[in-house]
Amino acid sequence: MKTVDMLNTAKRVIENAYAPYSKFRVAAVLYGEEGLFTGVNVENASYGLTVCAERVAVFKAISEGKRKFEKMLIYTPGQQSLPYPCGACRQVLAEFFPEDFTVIVANDREEEQFNLGELLPFNFRL
């Protein structure tokens, strides 16, 4: 799947994001040979209960028995700062995907691409 197609998918699901506190809406699109999974951030008044878009997409895939993915696009609308994954999301990605897994971060102005090893060089693995 091309990055532009992943971006268009993210733009379709971003309206489902629930971000009344931060106003920073995020969508994630996880793609691989086993399909396409999306997620959006869901905030909570108790910030510790908030869940990021990346984890929603990964948990949806894993809960359906899917494990083979190539890349993830993380998107925020407008020209806000790029939506780099937080430390918790980086560690969740490292749990399920190899260091060469591609992570693309994008807004309506720019995008950057990394591999997971660049984003989390000293991940915790058993």
On whether the CB atoms of residues 90 and 124 are closer than 8 A, the answer is no
**pLDDT per residue as tens digits for the range 84-114:** 999 999 999 999 999 999 999 999 999 999 9
**pLDDT per residue as tens digits for the range 23-70:** 999 999 999 999 999 999 999 999 899 999 999 999 999 999 999 999
Give me 93's structure tokens.
């990605």
**Which one, of 74, 83, 120, lies nearest residue 98 by Cα?**
120
The answer to whether residue 54 is catalytic is yes
Catalytic-role residue among 15, 33, 54, 111: 54
**Which one, of 50, 10, 16, 12, lies nearest residue 30 by Cα?**
10
Residue 122: Cβ within 10 Å count? 7
Domains parsed from the chain with CATH numbers:
3-119 (3.40.140.10)
